[in-house]
Amino acid sequence: MRGRHRIAADFTLLAAAVNLARLATLDLTHTIHGWTLNPA
């Protein structure tokens, strides 16, 4: 059985993947100046 720390790490990684997918859907990119919205 996996420990709580390992399970928590899995959920954290899953949340990060969901957030990155959401940012990609919103067409946001990161530059040296911060986050920018790409014009359509």
pTM: 0.62
CA-angle at 24, arms to 23 and 30, nearest 5°: 70
Rounded Cα distance between 37 and 40, Å, is: 9
Asked whether 26 and 37 are in contact (CB, 8 A), the reply is yes
CA-angle at 29, arms to 26 and 33, nearest 5°: 135
Q: What residue spans define the domains of the chain?
A: 4-37
- The SS3 assignment for 28 reads strand
pLDDT single digits (tens) 1-40: 679 999 999 999 999 999 989 988 888 888 899 988 877 6
